[in-house]
Structure 1
Amino acid sequence: MNIPPVTRPYFSSDPAKEKAAVILCWAVTLLSTLILILFWEETRSLQFIANLQQYRTPFVEFLFRFFTFLGDDQFFMVFFGVLIWCVSKPLGFWTAFVLLTSGTYSGLIKDMTILERPALAGIIHPDNSAFPSGHTLTAITVWGYLAVRLKNRNFWLWSALTIIMIAVSRLILGYHFLGDVLGGIALGIPFLLFFLWLSTAFIEQKWMDKVSLPLLLSLSLAVPLLISSVLPGSDPPKLMGYLAGASFGYILEKEKVRSAVNAPFFKQIIKSVIGLAVLFGIIMGLGPVLPSAVEILGFIRYGLGGLWVTLIAPALFVKLKLSGTTKEPDQEIDQPTIPLPSESV
């Protein structure tokens, strides 16, 4: 159970570059915050968003819908499943952890601010409020976390491009005001830095070694359940339910199943197809039986989805001989099995 989610240095092995990256993060956060404070009304200009609509050619529409999809829940469900089953269990689990917690954080701020989205004809908005842009915030936390973990220059460039394009897509597609996107930046970067610091503290202080397996399993269920019961809105039960099931399954799988992610390509395809089919069957098919309208039932449904991804599916893949096993819980290398260029930042 002692596989580290992240280690220092976060951004570069070069101390000067590491310091510069941290300063840049805080500078962007401060600038976004100052713009919001000094020009609040201007950042909520409907005319600015309306003017952007003239650039929505078919190609621009396709391009930005693609990037906004990279910040959607549906994409992340597929992405995390494939990541955990076929690439790296620790990388997949901890990236999902970042998304679920930052998504809950974003939803809490939305429920506290309750600001309207741009009122543009023909734009169908989500049910939640506008500030901050959840896509922008979670793009920073998820893609930023992945870049820190992989420590690869090409992936850093891809992550930076993805974050920028997701943020711009929310404006071009008319889903958010400029202030909402700036809010996502101002709140997302500190969340990412805090999570990186906390992850490092877990490793350096060896906190996981001080907790017994039964207590860890109990906390993995109790803490998300408590959070979902006290936070307002319909999203916390779903996000925290998924986190509870995924955490419980991840801990237990490492102790009891110990599946290996390495497999021939055709087996990886089979694992992905089976895994995603059942996952969407649970999340969507059980909706009428375990509706999200009843918070505890929604918590259970998404919890079953998380449990499937991190425990039941890996165990099934081992049973079907689609995956092998490792001998010891700590034998699994906490690196992706898909080769990446060796060039680092």
Structure 2
Amino acid sequence: MHAATDAFREAETAPVLWVQGLGDWAAVPFALITELASQDAVVLVLALVFWCVHAGAGARLFVAVIASAGLNYLLKAVLYAPRPSWVSHQVVAHAAESSFAMPSGHAQNATVLWGYLGVRSGRRPWLWAAVVLIALICVSRVYLGVHFVSDVLAGLLVGAALLWAALRWEERAVRWWRGLPTARWASLAVAVSVLPCVFAALWQALVGGGWSASSDWRGAVPPDPAGATLAGLFSVCGALLGGLVGFTLLAGRGWYSAEGALTARAARFVLGLSVIVLAPVLQEVLFGDLAGLALAVAEFALYALVALWASFGAPETFVRSGLAQRSSAGQASGMR
């Protein structure tokens, strides 16, 4: 089974090498394009929409994108798929990735993020721009040597399914969530955030049996892709927990409006982001010596607090400082 899979992966290097045949000149533009679906870019877009454009759309987009990222890491933690540069020395790795490959997180999350914004804009040019951007991001992942075509296609399919579900059921889901008693929504928030982490950790410990690189992988494999994937899953799930709790608490306080003067919106963005940018610094200072499951658990807690700040602490600070107002529709209809 593993031999057949590895043979298939080796055959898949041909399309990667063909795309890389465009030449080294394309490395810089594709590296810039791929950044539009990176973690940093996603955080900036989510913060900008929620704090400065439309609070309701931003909250729903946050849940959709973070849930997508959590599912992506969970699938990676189960599938243990290699990246092209791990399989063949012929593939040039123009970017470094330490986690497993399938499905492509950039393709999946770009589909959810930019697809949602394109659809919700209500403007056909913006929708087509989102489609073109998603396509370019997918090509960039193959060119950069970090994904096979099958990884990208899997990411597109999963992302499209999640986007369809979000657009179809978000209204009903928000009304249902806002009608839950405190004990129940809190329990559900913990469950959907913690259970994927527990499942992945048990899978790696019991089923994975201690990951080791396949003997047929002839490229440069990072030292611990299983640990990196697990840490990514824990951090994303922590952010999901913090966001669900924060948005629900904020709705109970009357929500808030992202409208206002341009100067107020800019001030909200800078103030809110000043706390978020401390997360990587704290991670390095506090957790620099940790590894494995201990690091993953620590990142879960850290990113839960960061997301709680973004979804509740920052909006409350904006309202109290006069940078934002309560939403007149927030108390009656929840996360709008």
TM-score by length of 2: 0.78
1:189 to partner: Cα distance: 2.2
How many residues matched? 293
1:248 maps to a residue whose letter is: V
Partner of 2:3: none
Contact 2:252–2:331 at 8 Å: present in 1 too? Answer: no
Partner of 2:79: 113
CA shift digits 1:199-237 (9 cap, x unpaired): 35536xx53354124432343234312332222422221
2:250 counterpart of 1:253: yes
Contact 1:243–1:303 at 8 Å: present in 2 too? Answer: yes
Partner of 1:228: 197
- For the structure 1 residues 61 and 332, does the alpha-carbon distance in structure 2 shift closer, same or farther, using more than 3 Å as the test? farther
1:315 to partner: Cα distance: 1.2
Q: 1 or 2, which has the higher helix percentage?
A: 2
- For the structure 1 residues 131 and 327, does the alpha-carbon distance in structure 2 shift closer, same or farther, using more than 3 Å as the test? closer
Partner of 2:57: 91
Look up the SS of the partner of 1:81 in the other structure: helix
Partner of 2:106: 135
Partner of 1:306: 307
- For the structure 1 residues 100 and 43, does the alpha-carbon distance in structure 2 shift closer, same or farther, using more than 3 Å as the test? farther
CA distance, structure 2, for counterparts of residue 103 and residue 44 of structure 1? 28
1:311 to partner: Cα distance: 0.7
Partner of 2:151: 180
Contact 2:108–2:158 at 8 Å: present in 1 too? Answer: yes
- For the structure 1 residues 125 and 44, does the alpha-carbon distance in structure 2 shift closer, same or farther, using more than 3 Å as the test? farther
1:299 to partner: Cα distance: 1.0
2:132 maps to a residue whose letter is: L
Partner of 2:4: none
Partner of 2:281: 284
1:230 maps to a residue whose letter is: F
2:47 counterpart of 1:50: no
TM-score by length of 1: 0.76
2:268 maps to a residue whose letter is: K
- For the structure 1 residues 135 and 43, does the alpha-carbon distance in structure 2 shift closer, same or farther, using more than 3 Å as the test? farther
- For the structure 1 residues 177 and 44, does the alpha-carbon distance in structure 2 shift closer, same or farther, using more than 3 Å as the test? farther
1:113 to partner: Cα distance: 2.3
1:172 to partner: Cα distance: 1.7
Contact 2:37–2:109 at 8 Å: present in 1 too? Answer: yes
CA distance, structure 1, for counterparts of residue 104 and residue 92 of structure 2? 20
- Structure 1 residues 1-345: aligned runs within 5 Å: 41=8, 44-56=11-23, 58=25, 60-119=26-85, 120-121=91-92, 123-199=94-170, 201-202=172-173, 206-208=175-177, 210-232=179-201, 233-256=230-253, 258-289=255-286, 293=291, 294=294, 295-327=296-328, 329-330=330-331
- Greater shift, 228-237 or 193-202, is seen at 193-202
1:238 to partner: Cα distance: 0.5
1:185 to partner: Cα distance: 2.4
CA distance, structure 2, for counterparts of residue 181 and residue 43 of structure 1? 16
1:215 maps to a residue whose letter is: R
Contact 1:97–1:243 at 8 Å: present in 2 too? Answer: yes
- Greater shift, 61-70 or 72-81, is seen at 61-70
2:185 maps to a residue whose letter is: L
CA distance, structure 1, for counterparts of residue 280 and residue 243 of structure 2? 14
Q: Which runs of 5+ in 2 are unaligned?
A: 1-6, 86-90, 202-229
1:152 maps to a residue whose letter is: R
Look up the SS of the partner of 2:285 in the other structure: coil
Q: Which runs of 5+ in 1 are unaligned?
A: 1-39, 336-345
CA distance, structure 2, for counterparts of residue 49 and residue 179 of structure 1? 11
CA distance, structure 2, for counterparts of residue 328 and residue 109 of structure 1? 38
